[in-house]
């Protein structure tokens, strides 16, 4: 059952203890919006609303895809691939194909086990069938991280479609292996531009290299660490939101062929305290629009386009996990600046704008009492 929280209650709740179980999240001392708790999920990672319906798809990291219905039940979608649930791995992003209205095609990403103790991200597509029990039909893996490696972190695997609907952009993390981000013979530590069938898109920056193989031909940009946000703005420009090490989270304007510096430079340092040269020491490399030190540990983000929050229009609105918050960032050309930050009760993993301009959040589900689906409503002043 949905529970509304008034702005006054929000301020009072900041003095109380952290919520537990299915109680509404508290500790939101802000006056710009109220929060409604809609439902709870187990380790939710991503969501996608089905346009013109009261339905949304929500991934749970252990390997479940849920079909949520506004005012109705939550059902499990059958036919989801087996995932490597370990560390940061599991079921990841979900996105509707540009022609979803006619094809019913959706895209999923997940961590996939390989030989021995190796894993890697995978991208697949399938037809969503809603007649009767919801299910996926004809699931096909169309892309994989190469090579699969040990460890269970930095998969990234966020999906974004070009505004014309012709191409699929995909973030591929460097899997905590550092140097592959600078190597053009692997797709680790990259942003990739693919056809809707998962093949290298024509005209990619390195596709004309006579030594380029099929992996090199996928690459749009390189030198990335762990990109968990990938979005186009209203002008059709692609941006990424990226985790730094100990400090150095960054928002980047993504330009084809550019090197974004990891692990050569960062505005943070290694976790053991060893320094890393700062971005500014290498002006030949792409510079972040904004970086954070201390970190915000970003999840996903949106460029807000609706009318419910007019002061937010055109800004990047970021789901942040440490400290748990929503961060608003104004864009000025290829630079950005933080303009507001709103404290939240739990880590925020995903943020989505619905067609009506409402904003929805998924709490990261590892904390006790977290994992809620939340809806924001503006406070009229």
Residue 374 is predicted with a pLDDT of 98
Residue 4 is predicted with a pLDDT of 41
Q: How far apart are CA 7 and CA 30, in angstroms?
A: 7
Is the dihedral angle over the CA atoms 177, 183, 186, 189 positive or is it negative?
positive
Q: How far apart are CA 254 and CA 231, in angstroms?
A: 10
Residue 380 is predicted with a pLDDT of 80
Task: Give the 3-state secondary structure of residue 164.
Answer: coil
Convert the pLDDT of each residue in 95-146 to its tens digit: 999 999 999 999 999 999 999 999 999 999 999 999 999 999 999 999 999 9
Convert the pLDDT of each residue in 208-229 to its tens digit: 776 668 899 999 999 999 999 9
In this prediction, residue 1 has a pLDDT band, given cuts at 50, 70 and 90, of very low
Residue 27 has pLDDT above 50, yes or no: no
- Nearest residue to 316 via CA among 223, 242, 221: 242
Average pLDDT, the chain: 92
Calculate mean pLDDT across residues 369-373.
95
Residue 30 has pLDDT above 90, yes or no: no
Please state the separation of Cα 36 from the chain's center in Å.
22
Contacts of 202 (CB under 8 A, 6+ apart): none
Q: How far apart are CA 24 and CA 39, in angstroms?
A: 10
Contacts of 17 (CB under 8 A, 6+ apart): none
Calculate mean pLDDT across residues 48-61.
97
Convert the pLDDT of each residue in 171-211 to its tens digit: 999 999 999 999 999 999 999 999 999 999 999 999 877 66
Range 21-47 burial, b when 16+ CB lie within 10 A, else e? eeebbbbbebebbbbbbbbbbebbbbb
Whether 154 is a known active-site residue: answer yes
In this prediction, residue 7 has a pLDDT band, given cuts at 50, 70 and 90, of very low
**Percent of the chain at pLDDT above 90?**
87
Return the bridge partners of 353, or none: 359
Q: How many CB atoms lie within 10 A of CB 234?
A: 12
Q: How far apart are CA 263 and CA 365, in angstroms?
A: 30
User: Using the 8-state DSSP alphabet, how is residue 198 labeled?
Assistant: S
Q: Do residues 193 and 199 make contact, with C-beta atoms less than 8 angstroms apart?
A: no
Catalytic residue among 154, 157, 224, 258: 154
């Amino acid at each position: 059952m949905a529970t509304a929280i008034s702005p006054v209650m929000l301020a009072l709740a900041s003095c109380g203890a952290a919520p537990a179980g299915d109680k509404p999240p508290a500790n939101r001392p802000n006056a710009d919006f109220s929060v409604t708790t809609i439902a709870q999920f187990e380790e939710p990672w991503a969501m996608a609303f089905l346009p013109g319906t009261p339905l949304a798809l929500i991934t749970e990291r252990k390997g479940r895809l849920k079909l949520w219905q506004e005012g109705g039940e939550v059902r499990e979608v059958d036919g989801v691939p087996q995932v490597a649930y370990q560390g940061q791995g599991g079921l990841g992003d979900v996105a509707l194909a540009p022609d979803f209205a006619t094809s019913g095609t959706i895209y999923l990403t997940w961590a996939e086990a390989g030989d021995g103790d190796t894993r890697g991200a995978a991208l697949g597509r399938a037809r969503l069938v809603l007649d009767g029990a919801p299910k996926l039909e004809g699931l096909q893996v169309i892309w994989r991280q190469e090579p699969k490696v040990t460890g269970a972190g930095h998969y990234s695997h966020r999906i974004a479609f070009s505004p014309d609907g012709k191409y699929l952009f995909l973030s591929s993390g460097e899997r905590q292996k550092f140097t592959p981000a600078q190597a053009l013979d692997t797709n680790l530590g990259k942003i990739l531009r693919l056809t809707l069938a998962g093949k290298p898109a024509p005209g990619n920056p390195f596709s004309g290299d006579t030594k380029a193989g099929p992996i090199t031909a996928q690459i749009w940009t390189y030198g990335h660490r762990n990109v968990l946000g990938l979005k186009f703005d209203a002008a059709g420009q692609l941006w990424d939101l990226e985790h730094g090490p100990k400090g150095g989270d960054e928002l980047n304007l993504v330009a084809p062929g550019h090197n974004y510096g990891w692990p050569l430079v960062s505005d943070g340092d290694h976790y053991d305290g060893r320094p890393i040269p700062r971005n500014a020491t290498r002006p030949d490399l792409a510079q972040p629009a904004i970086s954070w030190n201390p970190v915000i540990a970003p999840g996903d983000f949106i460029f807000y386009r609706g009318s419910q929050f007019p002061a937010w229009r055109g800004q990047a609105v970021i789901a942040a996990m440490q400290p748990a918050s929503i961060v608003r960032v104004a864009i000025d050309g290829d630079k950005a600046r933080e303009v507001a930050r709103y404290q939240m009760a739990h880590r925020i993993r995903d943020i989505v704008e619905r067609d009506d301009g409402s904003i929805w959040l998924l709490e990261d589900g590892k904390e006790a009492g977290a994992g809620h689906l939340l809806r924001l409503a503006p406070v009229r002043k």
